[in-house]
Structure 1
Amino acid sequence: REHRALLEQYALIASMSARGNCYDNAAMESWNHSLKVEAIHGEHLATREQAKAHVFDYIEVDYNRIRLRSTLGYLSPEQYELANVA
């Protein structure tokens, strides 16, 4: 009930596939795993602000610019964009 109230409050639409479809959340599960293993595991962050800054840094620097993607031919998004600008 609380979940549904939050969805309505913020006008969010939940992603739901047919019952038993295990691939619906595969991309998000993969992202959560990467975040936990590469950025959070073993870190000791004293405040919420430190945690937010740490996660932001991981997303904006490591994940979005440096991390290689199989869908981009094992290039980082930054390398891929540079190679395909011309």
Structure 2
Amino acid sequence: SNNHLWRPATRQALQNPGQAADHLLPDTGVGVTLERQLSAAFIVGEQYGTRATTWLTLSHRGDVAITEQRFGPLGRFTGETTLTALCQR
């Protein structure tokens, strides 16, 4: 079905390690190297980085699903969990 066509694009966006161009970076005082790393939607690092992405899905029936993907150091995928609450009618 077409109901789930958005999922690959959403996951790709949430896991995008692309960094902003230097002229778009803020100057928060942490230095340009760290500013670059922190500008990504998905931050890959040994000590600091994205450790989870979470999204909520609502179906036309009213069912709700919460999905979380977990990551370890250097962006290593460690698991995924989906919790679903079915709408009772």
> What is the TM-score normalised by the length of structure 2?
0.24
From the two aligned structures, give the one with the greater helix fraction. 1
Higher relative contact order (CA 8 A, sep 6+): 2
Compare the two structures and name the one with the higher strand fraction: 2
